[in-house]
Amino acid sequence: MRFDVITLFPEVFRILSAYGVSGRAVARGLVEIHLWNPRDFTQDPHRTVDDRPYGGGPGMVMKVEPLRAAIAAVRAAAPHSRVAYLSPQGRLLDQAAMVEIAQQPGWVLLAGRYEGVDERLIEHHVDEEWSIGDYVLSGGELPAMVVMDAVIRLLPGALGHDQSAQLDSYMDGLLDCPHYTRPEETAEGRVPEVLLSGDHAAIARWRLRQALLRTWQRRPDLIKRRGLSERERALLEAALEASIQAHPEEGPVEYRSKP
């Protein structure tokens, strides 16, 4: 996988190539990260990349010319890559989208600043527009890093053992089950017995049951979108029943962010 990032702040991307899963993936050549600064594609002595918005209003807008030249240079260096602009107006990304993105050989990520980018640049030189969430950030750098982190961990060989990406939250459209580690007992309580049993079938069933219950309680929209198999429906009903038995005073299991 190859990422080319067009950004006014290339230095911030060091965090991806220097640390953790993404740092190891870069070191092992599973992914290449190339950084391009639009200022290097300006013609004027002030290296101007932005100007005031036509029609008035606050802030500044990124100019077409430096970005057009930068994209042309990147496309020449990475002819198989598609160009994606990160903005709140884009397609809202989720795990399924990250799996799709990871199938491509490469992406050019355009990280905007100021109020955004001149619309003509988006219309004529951008293939896709993506959003990481319905809120406004001060730049596209963090969204670009979010996409890169989420995609790099899906690359074969990026995680300790490939199997773990499959177990990730959302990979099966459900929230993740609770996790525990040593010691078995702390002041906060004891690890659920089933996890100490060594009975892998029972452990897998418990984890699915917990994931179903949590998703039902915290993100019923995901259950609606995904639907449930007969087995999952039975597991969820049993979990809901047990939860009502365990918290009779709380009545039917309504939405709650913490169990």
Q: Footprint of ligand 4FV on this chain (CB under 6 A)?
A: 86-88, 112-114, 116, 131-133, 135-137, 139-140, 143
If we measure between CA atoms, which residue out of 208, 12, 20 comes closest to residue 113? 12
Is residue 88 among the annotated active site residues?
Answer: yes
Cβ count within 10 A of residue 23: 15
Shortest reach from residue 191's CB to ligand 4FV, in Å:
38
Answer yes or no: 178 catalytic: no
Active site residue 256: no
Known binder of ligand: residue 198? no
Does 135 show up as a binding residue in the annotation?
yes
In the complex, what is the shortest distance from the CB of residue 99 to ligand 4FV, in angstroms, rounded to a whole number? 19
User: For residues 211 and 173, what is the distance between their CA atoms, to the nearest angstrom?
Assistant: 10
Closest to 85 (Cα-Cα) out of 37, 155, 132: 132
Task: Give 134 or 249: the residue with its C-beta nearer to ligand 4FV.
Answer: 134
**Shortest approach of ligand 4FV to residue 139 CB, angstroms?**
5
Please name which of 168, 134, 163, 167 lies closest in space to residue 149, comparing C-alpha atoms. Answer: 168
- Catalytic residue, candidates 32, 65, 168, 176: 168
The two three-digit tokens of residue 211, written as one number: 């994931």
Catalytic residue among 32, 65, 88, 129: 88
Tell whether residue 112 is among the known ligand binding residues. yes
The answer to whether 101 is a known ligand-binding residue is: no
153 among known catalytic residues: yes
**Which of 149, 176 has the CB closer to ligand 4FV?**
149
CA 177 to chain centre: 19
Choice between 114 and 170, CB closer to ligand 4FV: 114
Which of the following is catalytic: 10, 50, 113, 153? 153
Rounding to the nearest 10 degrees, give the CA dihedral for residues 12, 14, 18, 20. Answer: 40
Beta strand segments in 156-199, E: 185-186, 189-190
Q: What is the C-alpha to C-alpha distance for residues 141 and 226, in angstroms, rounded to an integer? A: 31
Residue entry with tokens 């890559």: 81
Using the minimum distance from each CB to ligand 4FV, give the nearer residue, 135 or 255. 135
List, by residue number, the catalytic residues.
88, 115, 153, 168
Annotated binding residues, as ranges?
112, 132-137
Q: Which residue ranges make up the annotated binding site for S-adenosyl-L-methionine?
A: 112, 132-137
